Structure 1
Amino acid sequence: MSFEKEYQEKLTTAEEAVKVVQSGNWVDYGWCTATPYALDKALAARAEELHDVKLRGGILLRVPEIFKAPDAARHFTWNSWHMSGIERKLVKDGLVFYSPIRYSELPRYYRENIVPNDVAMFQVAPMDAHGYFNFGPNASHMAAVCEKSKIIIVEVNNNLPRCLGGMQEGIHISQVDMIVTGGNPPIAEMGAGGAPTEVDQAVAKLIVEEIPNGACLQLGIGGMPNTVGSMIADSDLKNLGVHTEMYVDAFVDIALAGKINGSQKSIDRFRQTFAFGAGTKKMYDYLNDNPELMSVPVDYTNDVRSIAALDNFISINNAVNLDLFGQVNAESAGTKPISGAGGQLDFVLGAYLSKGGKSFICCSSTFTTKDGELKSRILPTLDPGSIVTDTRANIHYLVTEYGKVNLKGLSTWEKAEAIISVAHPNFREQLIAEAEKMHIWRRSNR
């Protein structure tokens, strides 16, 4: 049978396809930009006849239609592998729950621990001449999802970029049960935030001066990593490489400035390696059919052995806050969820194992509350309920607008002193007093 004939036989409407979903089912909605549109709308229309449908997904870039159904929490429960702003806002409504896991463990977790998933439905790029549907910028863990799903429904979107890969970047039509055409909606975008602040620029400058020619880069999400990317694009750096969990707009700017060629990478030379991407249309256009890019599963990008194999690996990530012991929280505001574990710890560990590698945790020294109160991001101890993303033994460099310090291997008093040295001056004496109470203070310059 030709692929085109098989395509026509499996082609159906979204309304017909979602009839396979039954009450009590586990349904996988894919990941990030692959979250379905037409199938989501059709499933939402069936809300009244369904209850206790449990969905898996993550990094939502728009509010799914299922959440808009009357009494949605009685019908649907969303289990997020990593929260976006949309998901964390819906936690209080009882619709969304976080599933704590290191992002790199997802493929293995699906393959070894998930009782076959009932239904998987997600967006794909159009089928190619060989019968393959590309996952777009979402290789991530999608091959594992497909392996463990009883029924696979793909929603074809001509606007989804076709991301070339090395492995597990798509699914063959022979593995697909139903095909839906979704009307080709625009791909959901994730903006890079506003213009960089003076604090962003100060932090970025301190990091960029640590990056050598030929370094391999990983950037996290957020204003500071994006500002670092902009500064790299404007710098004299050359022969840079990319090996990252998330591909962001900043990499496009660096590449178009001629700074990236991957020539110094010991693995995947000349390729920019990534597990998923979310950004603006500029980025999606750059990813589409670009042979320089390499779309691979997250258990490859985030494997500390892959990271450690790349010399001069530079990892740059954000934090919500941290304490005087060097415990980094990048996931919550107390008990209130913000994101998830993601791959930050993988890159902190992997970068340190890399020859010449460095990991940077960056944050502004303070933030201002809605009431206008200035508060320190550096705390004596983390607030109750805060999540430790990187333990005190893992942190390498900490950077704020007041400086950068290498915390690796320092004793408790040395670490407390170094951390306080980059805190906002308004809070340093208070932090010293708290450090003294905890018996981790000994001023070295007495």
Structure 2
Amino acid sequence: MYMEEYRKKCVSADEAVKVIRNGDWVEFAWAATVPGLLDDALARRKDELFDVNLRGGVIITPMACLECDPAGEHFTWNSWHLGGRERKMVQKGQAYYIPLKYSELPRYLRENVKTDVVAIQVAPMDAHGYFSFGVTVSHYAAAIEKARAVIVEVNEDMPSVHGGYDHAVHISKVDYVVEGGHRGLPILPSAAASDLDRQIAEYVLPEITDGACIQLGIGGMPNALGKMIAESNLKDLGVHTEMLVDGFVDMVEAGKVTGMCKKLDRGRIVYAFAAGTQKLYDFLRNNPSVAGYPVDYTNHPFIASQNDQLISINSALEVDLTGQVCSESAGPSMISGAGGQLDFVEAAYNSKGGKSFICLPSTYTDKNGQLHSRIKGMMTYGATITDTRPTVQYVVTEYGKVNLKGLPTWQRAEALISIAHPDFRESLIEEAKQLKIWRKKA
């Protein structure tokens, strides 16, 4: 029924990108879904295009249109969340970060920003005329609502994924279809968990009980915890998360995840986007136990908190003695982004029996080999505050965990110093005294 319309809209990548004009804003790629053919075709148009703003995030593969234009005269990359490649581009002045609270991203697209063209990768069209967004649901539907033109690049290897809503686009809303054949999906190996990561995870694991609903961030420590959960005696766990990674598949295969205690999406694993190994992509394909949702559903604190015992585990770069958390920059230098960390910090605390954990090693070593504390009297100059101090619940290092909720500044300082590296505790006490947040006891 829909194949005739499909065939009429089928064009080459070079033909499709002709719809992009000077000055356009293009929603282009997220994580494992870079549209490679469209990217190459756009690069071939470099000399005839100027001031084209591309938006996306968490880029894990090279992009031809950015590599061919290192001066940024033709294409500017604007990132909702920095991956490693984007981080280097920002340092060179070739890319820019867009501050966000991830749960609000679809609203930004509907109400606040300009979107001229959407050019994304999708799964093959089904018999009903729908293209599944596959491993990235996130915010694509909102961008499509506002765009002048919509281009989909069909990847035969993109898994078609079950969803809640806004997880697919109908052929009637698509202007151009580019057939990509079998292109595979980029592999994002799980970050290796260090002994330090495992030490930190061991403080969190006892806080998780049967029937809990899990959200894990990205990185070695959440990966370590995922493996520990898979090897634990926990049962009937649920998943409601922003990013789906291999660790969740391990938990499912170990029989730990049933989702039967969830208040929302009972029996289903809820996510906004996924990136990992082929094991993860195979797990997603036509799996009725998985539900891809837009991020204003997965991350909205009111929605996520309706699941009881929501456990949120995320990483940080530094914490000051009043409990402010920086998870996105080293001083003024951007490292990643806010993502949905604050969303889940708030959601977990507001969940019945829920708990939020900010996890970080107590120290780091700089390029000169000097050791520094990640728990600081005051934030590094220029550091971005990701989680404000009233929102933070548990902070965890390899030296223990503390709950900051309801504590005055002197008790917060005392608690955080107790989990700092022992070599820095005396100097942190001196800083706390100078900041008037250290209480002399009898």
Sort the TM-score into its range (normalised by shorter chain): over 0.9
- Displacement after TM superposition at 1:217 (Å): 0.3
Where has structure 1 moved over 4 Å in runs of 4 or more?
none
Corresponding residue SS for 2:223: helix
Corresponding residue SS for 1:74: coil
Runs of 5+ unmatched residues, structure 1: none
The correspondence of residues 24-423 of structure 1 with structure 2, limited to 5 A, is: 24-115=23-114, 117-194=115-192, 196-423=193-420
Letter in 2 for 1:142: Y
Greater shift in the superposed pair: 290-299 or 59-68? 59-68
Q: Is the 8 A contact 2:156 2:180 kept in 1?
A: no
CA spacing shift, 1:21–1:236, aligned 2, 3 Å: same
- Displacement after TM superposition at 1:72 (Å): 4.4
CA distance in 2, matches of 1:64, 1:376: 36
Letter in 2 for 1:267: L
Q: Is the 8 A contact 2:211 2:309 kept in 1?
A: yes
Percent identity between the aligned chains?
53
- Displacement after TM superposition at 1:443 (Å): 5.2
Q: Is the 8 A contact 1:47 1:72 kept in 2?
A: no
User: CA deviation digits over 1:292-343, x for unaligned, max 9?
Assistant: 0010000001111112211111000000111101000000000110111111
Greater shift in the superposed pair: 165-174 or 370-379? 370-379
User: CA deviation digits over 1:146-176, x for unaligned, max 9?
Assistant: 1011100000001111111010101000110
TM-score, normalization: structure 2? 0.98
- Displacement after TM superposition at 1:30 (Å): 3.4
CA distance in 2, matches of 1:172, 1:280: 28
Letter in 1 for 2:135: P
CA spacing shift, 1:443–1:260, aligned 2, 3 Å: farther
- Displacement after TM superposition at 1:94 (Å): 2.2
Letter in 1 for 2:246: D
Corresponding residue SS for 1:239: coil
Runs of 5+ unmatched residues, structure 2: none
- Displacement after TM superposition at 1:182 (Å): 2.1
CA distance in 2, matches of 1:16, 1:413: 64
Corresponding residue SS for 1:225: helix
Q: Is the 8 A contact 1:211 1:314 kept in 2?
A: yes
- Displacement after TM superposition at 1:6 (Å): 1.0
Corresponding residue SS for 2:239: strand
Letter in 1 for 2:337: G
Q: Is the 8 A contact 2:212 2:310 kept in 1?
A: yes
Is 1:429 the counterpart of 2:426 in the alignment? yes
User: CA deviation digits over 1:155-201, x for unaligned, max 9?
Assistant: 0001111111010101000110000012422211222122x222111
Letter in 1 for 2:329: S
CA distance in 2, matches of 1:169, 1:47: 32
Q: Is the 8 A contact 2:121 2:153 kept in 1?
A: yes
Corresponding residue SS for 2:240: strand
Q: Is the 8 A contact 1:240 1:262 kept in 2?
A: yes
User: CA deviation digits over 1:99-151, x for unaligned, max 9?
Assistant: 10101101111111234x22111100000011000001111011001101110
- Displacement after TM superposition at 1:19 (Å): 1.1
TM-score, normalization: structure 1? 0.97
Corresponding residue SS for 2:148: strand
- Displacement after TM superposition at 1:71 (Å): 4.6
CA distance in 2, matches of 1:22, 1:312: 49
**Count of paired positions:** 442
Q: Is the 8 A contact 2:70 2:94 kept in 1?
A: no
Corresponding residue SS for 2:152: strand
Q: Is the 8 A contact 1:81 1:98 kept in 2?
A: yes
- Displacement after TM superposition at 1:255 (Å): 0.7
Aligned-residue RMSD, C-alpha? 1.1
